[in-house]
Amino acid sequence: KLVCYFTNWAPGRPESASIFPLDLDPFLCTHLIFAFASMSNNQIVPETLQDEKILYPQFNKLKERNRELKTLLSIGGWNFGTLRFTSMLHTFDNREKFINSAISLLRTHNFDGLDLFFLYPGLRNSPTHDRWKFLFLIEVSLVWNAFQKEALLTNRPRLLLSAAVSGAPHIIQTSYDVNLLGRLLDFINVLSYDFHGSWEKFTGHNSPLYSFPEDPKSSAYAMNYWRNLGAPSEKLMMGFPTYGRTFCLLKPSDNGLQAIATGPASPGKYTKQAGILAYYEICSFLEKARKDWIGYQHVPYAYKGKEWVGYDDIRSFQEKVRPDFFLAPGVISLTDVTY
């Protein structure tokens, strides 16, 4: 299983970096997730008119070329915040209103399921009880009478339900009941990346496979943490970042792991976001950069002058799907296929 996210801001990138759903290979992924929908008055709604009129139809038209492809619509994301989730979760009526609107929107636009990208229940100004109300939402929509009842009434396949979740132990403990999520969700997209970035004072890799035994900031630690708390391996999707995290070095001569950094490197030509380079921007960067390999983390990095980037390549991806590590080979989630 290969789950891929498509972000609705990709068409707005400049020049050749602009990507529409019709540009995607419909056979690349088994599941494609459109990110993101919005919420208004406790109902899920398209974020823009372009999403509804152009991008949704293009996105789901890919299934005409690959009839095995499943498409989902994701709601939330980092910039979405928590306030609207908290409001929607507050009462049973609000949750029911949201679920009914989700079924209507998904069926109207021919999606096969819903992805909940709530970052994070009980954190970022979300009250502690949102952890449990988030579970109530999932139980109502999947177990009680909504998704299954709708499928029976319409004689259509049941809508899928997935969630994007943190790979950080302190967030997992606060935000999730892992056993219940493992039982109720069709699959779980673990954000096993963004462990280090330009918010720190020293260079660090975005998504190391391993780290020191006591260090929780690695993909292996995140995946094993979810497994050890009871989530089924076959439902856990290991997040693969399709971008690198950048740093500006204090001194070009001090350019290894844990080198002193002063902030993010220059934004990419196309993504124009400080601290991040898309994979295709990294390819250009590597033409004149020096590359190195972090042996105990099983990932590469590169540097040029004062610019430093930790990224993934074919070798590091191969390491991450080795059968001796990955208990359910082929269960992968790509953060953004447009990178």
CA distance 286 to 169: 33
CA distance 72 to 161: 8
Using CB atoms within 10 Å of the CB of residue 212, give its burial: 0 to 12 exposed, 13 to 18 middle, 19+ buried: exposed
Chain region(s) in the chain for CATH 3.20.20.80? 2-191
Question: Is the bond leading into 36 cis (omega within 30 degrees of zero)?
Answer: yes
Q: Which two tokens stand for residue 279?
A: 């994979």
Per-residue pLDDT of the chain (339 residues; tens, 9 = 90+): 999 999 999 999 988 899 999 999 999 999 999 999 999 999 999 999 999 999 999 999 999 999 999 999 999 999 999 999 999 999 999 999 999 999 999 999 999 999 999 999 999 999 999 999 998 888 876 555 689 899 999 999 999 999 999 999 999 999 999 999 999 999 999 999 999 999 999 999 999 999 988 899 999 999 999 999 999 999 999 999 999 999 999 999 999 999 999 999 999 999 999 999 999 999 999 999 999 999 999 999 999 999 999 999 999 999 988 866 655 544 778 888 988
Cβ neighbours for 212, distance < 8 A, ≥ 6 positions apart: 296
8 Å CB contact between 282 and 244: yes
Other C-beta atoms closer than 10 Å to the C-beta of 101 total: 18
In 41-122, the DSSP E strands lie at: 43-45, 70-76, 113-117
CA distances from 315 to 167, 215, 244, 277, 327 (A): 22, 23, 15, 19, 19
pLDDT tens digits along 175-209: 999 999 999 999 999 999 999 999 999 999 999 99
Q: Which two tokens stand for residue 139?
A: 């139980």
- Quick one: three-class SS letters along 31-50? EEEEEEEEEECCEEECCCHH
The CA dihedral of 112, 30, 210, 190, to the nearest 10 degrees, is 0
Q: What pTM was computed for the model? A: 0.95
Cβ neighbours for 26, distance < 8 A, ≥ 6 positions apart: 62, 63, 65, 66, 69
Chain region(s) in the chain for CATH 3.10.50.10? 246-310
Superfamily of domain covering 2-191: Glycosidases (3.20.20.80)
Using CB atoms within 10 Å of the CB of residue 52, give its burial: 0 to 12 exposed, 13 to 18 middle, 19+ buried: middle
pLDDT tens digits along 219-249: 999 999 999 999 999 999 999 999 999 999 9
For the domain covering 246-310, report its CATH number: 3.10.50.10
